Amino acid sequence: HLFKAHQNTSKNFIRTSFGPNESLIAGGSEDGRAYLWDVNTCFVVQTLGSGSGPVYSAQWNANQSLLATCGHDGAARTWRYDEDKPLGQRVSDHV
């Protein structure tokens, strides 16, 4: 499958991970956002963030619909996934 929408133009390593029930993939991007893709359709279902520097990693909590991201700005952010909302809800920032 080919998952489009993220932007990676340099040699930065962008980590992705499967969601709790493996129906979603989360991945960072150089455009400062994390993207959530539906595994079956390969479509973006949510975009997280506002473009404050590359997001290098996106990791799911195995027991909940929580996602942690970290990026170039040095902050770790947690997000709550809600399939009924077009954008993720940021839970907290940790610098």
What is the reported pLDDT for 25?
A: 86
- What are 59's two structure tokens? 């990791």
What is the reported pLDDT for 29?
A: 85
Q: Per-residue pLDDT for 30 more than 50? A: yes
- The Cα–Cα gap between 90 and 43 comes to 21
Closest CA to 51 of 38, 64, 67, 69: 69
Partner residues linked to 36 by β-bridges: 26, 46
Work out the pLDDT band at 95, boundaries 50, 70, 90: very low
- What are 48's two structure tokens? 């997280």
pLDDT digits (tens, 9 = 90+) for 39-85: 888 888 888 887 678 888 888 887 777 889 998 888 888 888 776 76
CB atoms within 10 A of CB 33: 25
Range list of β-strands (E), 1-95? 16-18, 24-28, 34-38, 44-48, 55-60, 66-71, 76-80, 89-94
